[in-house]
Chain A
Amino acid sequence: MDFAFLPVVELGRLLRQKKTSATELATYFLDRLERIGPRFNAVATVTRARALAEATQADREIGQGKWRGPLHGIPYGVKDLLATKDYPTTWGAEPYRQQKFDADATVIERLGAAGAVLVAKLAMVELAGGMGYTQANASFTGPGKTPWNPAYWSGGSSSGPGAAVAAGLVPFAIGSETSGSILTPAAYCGVTGLRPTYGLVSRHGAMALAWTMDKLGPLGRSAEDCGIVLEVIAGKDPKDASSVNRGFRMTTQSGSKFRIGVPKGADKDIQPEVAANFRAALKVLGDKLEVIEDVELPDLPYGAVAGLIIAAEGASAFDDLLKDGRLSQLTAPEDRTGGYPALAVSAPDYLRALRVRRPMQRALDDFLKKFDALAVPTRTTVATPLDKPFRDGWPGVTGGANVIGPTNVVGVPGVSVPNGFGVQGLPTGLSFTARAFDEGKLVSLARLYQSRTDWHTRRPPLD
């Protein structure tokens, strides 16, 4: 049977009906990871022994009638910044290639408790991009390639999770986002990505880039799949002081229309296909939306705050690399010096950024509460070519509305769903962003869109 592109819900149904087993699924996806993964530089480590042990246990339990839930027996991968006790955790970076931890990250513990089967540690941009990479070749595993056209980038920094889900190497994956690292690969790889509210998912056991901005979340084949995963991984964790005492439950919003704000300039001076797909997506949902055009985010220094916080916290998180010079071992030349300018950030300036962020949070929440969600094209272009710096990838594209930066710096959630294709056969993405802890609205909107379209079911040309 062809399991590669089946959603989690369908794989679970097959398992419950005994039409397959967890061991068969694990073996199937392990083989695909080993056979197809290298084409896209998507895999850091295939966790075959662990996967088969977990799958055997799942089969035993399912055979005994013990059903742990919708992820029981389902294979998955994680971005290689999540600690695992039995395999290296490389953070995508040469200096950490042999790094090992003695415990699993909380997210992996929770997925394991739900019966999910870890089949791979997936590739990522080195140090989650914290040293300022400017082109795709920024990991010891090589540049991430989108399965839709391997001459183009998979996006980052969750490059492996995006490519692996898109190529049917795993049914779902866990990525991380400090500022764009889930939504961008979701868009460039044509999959669904969900960035939860800061604190909803424990960061314990995850590599820190910026403690006050890092978020973990799922990439999957559909919004429903991402919602199922978020239900399992969300919740308070005593090991992460920033985690909040909230969970997540999927609901379906029916009846009233969604009130959607479209930021000014969102589809102006961007790639024409991206703009057309965005407008077509809003039209698909037309009867369920009340669209308010040309809304404007509060005029605040989001970029300055984000840049300073990431620089200062990143330089501190990796101060050992800065001090002993191992930054020089990084793959991207620009990353080898990218951390040093942060040494010139003063403590008062960093604290100023943290102080400014508090009124910024209030202002953005006051703005977002007027809507159920904001809608924008996830990126203003399709994936950038591998052989050019990002900024030279698509010259002439000067517009769009920057929502990823402001919403990440204050920590509110977002979702990206595939909404068509652009130049070079590359996918485009539609994003919804909402107030803190409104993941339910985002998943409802995304599920509604995916109930009316089939972009999320398209398969890249792998053969």
Chain B
Amino acid sequence: MDAISRRAFAEQLALAAAAPWFVEDFKPPQQQQQIQEPSALAKALAEAVRVRYPDRFSADDLTAITRSIDGRLRAIERLYQTALTNADEPDFVYSVYRGAD
């Protein structure tokens, strides 16, 4: 793994099942084969999706949804490794509205 850092590799691996293809360049097949068993949280969240729409998904659909959720959960871990303070706001600004009198 000399071309990318361990953290970058972990992020790519997580995103492989989570993000639209255009978020990253295509990943090598060997990385795809290392997708792990989805976490209990991913399974629970996928079950919540199923409960919301009980008649909509096949078993294969639910497997794909579970893997995607699992990948995103792992990617999200990196967001919490970036240091933020209480004062770091989201990158949008809410503005108050007052219509014509």
Binding site for B on A (CB under 8 A): 129-134, 156-157, 178-181, 184, 212, 265, 268-269, 299-301, 303-308, 310-311, 325, 328, 334, 336-338, 340-341, 343-345, 349, 351-361, 379-381, 384, 390-400, 402, 404-405
Contacts and interface: CB of A to CB of B under 8 A. Distances in A.
B3 A269 contact: yes
A187 to B, nearest CB: 12
The 9 A-B residue pairs whose C-beta atoms are closest, nearest first, are: A307-B19, A354-B90, A341-B68, A301-B78, A344-B45, A398-B28, A304-B75, A180-B22, A179-B22
**Residue with the highest number of chain A CB atoms closer than 10 Å, among B45, B65, B78, B82:** B82
B20 interface: yes
Interface residues of B, number: 50
B69 A341 contact: yes
Nearest to A411: B91
Contacts of A380: 25-26
Contacts, number: 165
A426 to B, nearest CB: 15
**Residue with the highest number of chain B CB atoms closer than 10 Å, among A130, A131, A181, A352:** A352
Contact of B57 (A301, A337, A379): A337
A463 B82 CA distance: 55
A304 B78 contact: yes
A265 B25 CA distance: 13
B20 A132 contact: yes
Contact of B19 (A265, A268, A306, A381): A306
Main secondary structure of the interface of B (DSSP, over half): helix
Contact of A301 (B18, B20, B61, B81): B81
B8 interface: yes
25 contacts: A179-B23, A265-B3, A265-B4, A301-B78, A301-B82, A303-B11, A304-B76, A306-B23, A325-B53, A334-B64, A337-B61, A340-B53, A341-B65, A341-B72, A344-B42, A344-B72, A359-B82, A361-B91, A391-B21, A391-B29, A392-B29, A393-B26, A398-B3, A399-B3, A405-B23
B92 to A, nearest CB: 7
B25 A299 contact: no
Contacts of A181: 22
A156 B20 CA distance: 12
Interface in B45-101: 45-46, 48-49, 52-53, 56-57, 61, 64-65, 68-69, 72, 75-76, 78-82, 84, 88-92
